[in-house]
A and B are shown apart, each in its own frame.
Chain A
Amino acid sequence: MSSTAGESIPVGTGHIACDLHSSTVVFSKLSSSYPLKLLSPRVAEHGVAIVYVMSYGGGLVGGDCMQLIVEVGKECKLLLLSQGSTKVFKTRAGNRASTRFRRSSPQPTPSSLQDVTIQSMEVTIAPDSALFLLPDPVTCFRSASYTQMQTFHLAGSASIVLLDWVTSGRRSMGEDWDFLRYYSVNEVFVEGRRVARDVLLLDNPSLDTQIASESSSSNTTSRSPLRTLKDRLAPYSCYAMLLLYGPQTHGVVTDLQTKYRTISIFKRTAPERFLWSLTSVDDGKGTVIRAAGVDTEDVKNWFREALRGLEVVVGIDEYRKVFL
């Protein structure tokens, strides 16, 4: 099954709706418009479907706005994946003349809404169904500005595995947390009740806050320099947040809790290459994992192993398509 580029839907929007018809997942909707692209490969496993969420050209530029609506029908298991990391290109100014003008101007330019790349996703998950949102990480290039808003509405017996991760940029180009701004909101509701709202803001101090701090009243000799993103996040180049909720995550969660409990930290002189943490939310009904790694591969490899218990939920062949 492939995507249909609908004539009537607005730019950059997509709609996925699926239902179970005698152990086969059928898409009643699978439509998208440029630059968003949805692809669904054939899947052998009963009750399981995979959709790749992609963009034409393999990246997003400043001003791009993508909106995706997802409805996971009763007893379906839907995997939402990507092919390669979501690349967010540098913010572009409106036109060349003003760019040239701006460069010579000493005034800092406020980043307008137009320059921001926005991705939003609204998901509803029906009873006994599950969503596995396991994309590759977002990679923001130098000076890029990215906003991601994801909202998930679960029925009481629904499940979710949601991974949201970001890298420090193109290391081959010398980028190391050099983007302007990354803002990501993940909000999970269960039967209308908010159970978790994860908001991550990674922003480099802008030119105007630097100026403001330089002109502040206190004496200049003792003041600490502003901390850049790189200062704050070193030595790691990849940060991840994984949220698990619902009955179909129990196996994986139990394994992770057991693993976490065995950790005992003795005083170290230097940080480890990889770190992870586990915490319960909503009175133990949900779990949030955070991880950081010196290399993105370290983080990916850890998650592939940590979530291997999902093989029995989504199928071995299907799980193989995740964390490639």
Chain B
Amino acid sequence: MDTDFDETYVLLLLADSNLPTGSFVASSGFESYGTHGFLSLSSASSAGKGRAVTAGTVAFIQDSLHNYARSALPFVSDAHHIVDSFKDLEGKLKIDHDAAIEKLLKLDELYETMTLNHVAKRASKAQGVALLTLYAKGFTCPSGLSDEDHLSKSLTDLMDRLKWMVRGEKTHGHLPVCWGVLTGALGVSLLRAQHLFLFLHARSLLSSAVRLNTIGPYSSQQLLLHSVRPLVEAEVSQNKDMRTGIFVDMHPNGANNRPAMTWPLGEILAVRHDLQHSRIFNS
């Protein structure tokens, strides 16, 4: 079959909102943002309350997306690259995972030390390991039906090893790293993987907004198609070449192009999530 169809098919699977990744319990700080009284802050005076809340929701998505693209996307890119380079080894009799595993663990550890937010870490780890499980249980070839080639078997082994290391608390299994690994293993191109990663983040924010009743379900679709789309595109194009730098150098000279947090207000509110008297989300 045409490889474009192959990739599109995988993208359709990954974009399914029923995918069992547990993202529905995460609001990435949005619930806390509302509780703290920030939703009606933007352009509150001119428009009615409903309009102000919609504007506040879009503002949150914009700022959150901006921050997530700059802080997490480089980890997706690096992890994807590590797994993607396995393709070059196709045809070799024995593929050694140790070097790749070591790199992925380094990457995962860097994300852990850069995420100074226990609530975000909790959500990121839960969704990360869910992706690894999803691959093992949902995306590998069923036995018997298998004409599985050497490479995909090897990738399955790699994912399994990683999954057991997360389970055994040898590493954290953060979402951006696991997303890069998963999409790389499924043969999704880096640009598609980056784009879908940010799209899913934005969509998950919108669906938490619907559940919190700050916007309606139709409005959510409308925003996703018209307002969020250019935002996702802009963030992808701005950050697609950014890398963590951990495999090159973290020297000040390269500092302009390294992961960073861009929204300290969002960070404070996200950390304060657990202090809310009542809450429906986990982050």
A220 to B59 CA separation, bound complex (whole angstroms): 17
Question: Which residue on A lies nearest to B63, using beta carbons?
Answer: A232
- B148-167 near A? 1/0 per residue, CB < 8 Å: 00000000000000000000
**From residue 104 to 134 of chain A, which have CB atoms closer than 8 A to chain B?**
118, 120
- Contacting residues, chain A, for B125 (C-beta < 8 A): none
Please determine whether A219 and B277 come into contact, CB atoms closer than 8 angstroms: no
Segment at the interface with A among B10-18, B38-46, B138-146: B38-46
Please determine whether B114 and A197 come into contact, CB atoms closer than 8 angstroms: yes
Please determine whether A232 and B265 come into contact, CB atoms closer than 8 angstroms: yes
Q: Does B89 contact A (CB under 8 A)?
A: no
Q: Does B66 contact A (CB under 8 A)?
A: yes
Between A and B, how many residue pairs show CB distances below 8 Å? 145
- Nearest CB of chain A from residue B135's CB, rounded to whole Å: 28
A239 to B268 CA separation, bound complex (whole angstroms): 10
Question: Which residue on B lies nearest to A223, using beta carbons?
Answer: B230
- Contacting residues, chain A, for B230 (C-beta < 8 A): 213, 216, 218, 223-224
Segment at the interface with A among B1-9, B173-181, B231-239: B231-239
Please determine whether B110 and A224 come into contact, CB atoms closer than 8 angstroms: no
**From residue 165 to 201 of chain A, which have CB atoms closer than 8 A to chain B?**
183, 185, 187, 194-201
Q: Does B116 contact A (CB under 8 A)?
A: yes
Please determine whether B113 and A277 come into contact, CB atoms closer than 8 angstroms: no
Partner of A197, one of B110, B234, B276: B110
**A291-B268 CB under 8 A given contacts A218-B230, A224-B227, A227-B62:** yes
Please determine whether A199 and B268 come into contact, CB atoms closer than 8 angstroms: no
| Chain A interface residue count, Cβ-Cβ cutoff 8 angstroms | 58
Segment at the interface with A among B91-99, B190-198, B253-261: B253-261
**A236-B256 CB under 8 A given contacts A224-B231, A231-B42, A279-B117:** no
**From residue 30 to 48 of chain B, which have CB atoms closer than 8 A to chain A?**
32, 34-38, 40-42
Q: Does A234 contact B (CB under 8 A)?
A: yes
- Nearest CB of chain A from residue B98's CB, rounded to whole Å: 21
- B254-283 near A? 1/0 per residue, CB < 8 Å: 011011111111011101100111000000
Please determine whether B110 and A277 come into contact, CB atoms closer than 8 angstroms: no
A219 to B229 CA separation, bound complex (whole angstroms): 11
A280 to B114 CA separation, bound complex (whole angstroms): 12
**From residue 193 to 214 of chain B, which have CB atoms closer than 8 A to chain A?**
none
Please determine whether B41 and A271 come into contact, CB atoms closer than 8 angstroms: yes
Please determine whether A292 and B260 come into contact, CB atoms closer than 8 angstroms: no
Please determine whether B37 and A147 come into contact, CB atoms closer than 8 angstroms: no
- Contacting residues, chain B, for A187 (C-beta < 8 A): 250
A278 to B227 CA separation, bound complex (whole angstroms): 34
- Contacting residues, chain A, for B42 (C-beta < 8 A): 231
Please determine whether B264 and A264 come into contact, CB atoms closer than 8 angstroms: no
Q: Does A98 contact B (CB under 8 A)?
A: no
- Nearest CB of chain B from residue A282's CB, rounded to whole Å: 8
- Nearest CB of chain A from residue B105's CB, rounded to whole Å: 13
Please determine whether A292 and B264 come into contact, CB atoms closer than 8 angstroms: yes
Partner of B35, one of A185, A218, A235, A268: A268
- Contacting residues, chain B, for A200 (C-beta < 8 A): 260-262, 264
- A224-248 near B? 1/0 per residue, CB < 8 Å: 1001000111111001010000000
Interface centre among A147, A278, A279, A288 (most CB of B within 10 A): A279
Return 9 A-B CB contacts under 8 Å, by A number: A118-B252, A187-B250, A201-B70, A236-B265, A239-B265, A265-B277, A267-B35, A268-B37, A292-B264
- Give me the interface of B with A, judged by CB distance under 8 Å: 32, 34-38, 40-42, 58-59, 62-63, 66, 70, 109-110, 113-114, 116-119, 226-227, 229-231, 233-234, 237-238, 250, 252, 255-256, 258-265, 267-269, 271-272, 275-277
Q: Add 19 more A-B contacts to A183-B255, A227-B66 (CB < 8 A).
A: A149-B255, A185-B255, A187-B250, A196-B116, A201-B262, A202-B262, A212-B234, A224-B58, A227-B59, A241-B264, A264-B276, A268-B36, A270-B37, A276-B268, A278-B271, A279-B271, A281-B113, A282-B113, A292-B268
